[in-house]
Amino acid sequence: MARVLIVDDEALIAMMLGDLLAEYGHETVGPAHSESQALELIASSDIDAAILDVTLGDHDCFAVARALQRLGVPFAFATGHGTHAAPDEFRDYVTVSKPFDFEAVRKLVSDLIRQSNDA
């Protein structure tokens, strides 16, 4: 069982992702609904992978992405705004589109967990 951080400011989406992770046999860390909550969870939790909503209210998730990057935790972005929403430093990271395709999320989580285990 992997521990996957969910960062999304929309409670229903975060809950849906948590339910999907549970179906796949993983544990949800969070969800965090803001950058500050996510950074607190990163500092206080063991995390194997993360799914980050690009837009968190009037902020973005890129400080969270950088913190995960420093720790070597694999992550992917989730957005309804397309892949152009990420700065150049994150262009090579996987982005899953909202609304979610459940099979795409299952594959994404599997890939992230594999990356975590390979590290």
Expressed in angstroms, the distance from the first to the final Cα of the chain is: 16
pLDDT at 20: 93
Q: Which residue ranges make up each domain of the chain?
A: 12-118
Task: Give the pLDDT confidence score for residue 79 in this predicted structure.
Answer: 87
Q: Do residues 56 and 34 touch, judged by C-beta distance below 8 A?
A: yes
Beta strands in 1-119 (DSSP E): 3-7, 27-32, 49-53, 55-56, 59-60, 75-79, 95-97
Reduced to 3 states (helix: H, G, I; strand: E, B; else coil), residue 26 is coil
DSSP 3-state of 77: strand
- Average pLDDT over all residues of the chain: 91
* pLDDT value, residue 98: 85
pTM of the model: 0.93
CATH of domain 12-118: 3.40.50.2300
CA 68 – CA 50 distance, rounded (Å) = 8
Structure confidence by residue, pLDDT tens digits, 88-117: 888 888 888 888 888 889 999 999 999 988
Low-confidence ranges of the chain (pLDDT < 50): none
CA distance 34 to 27: 20
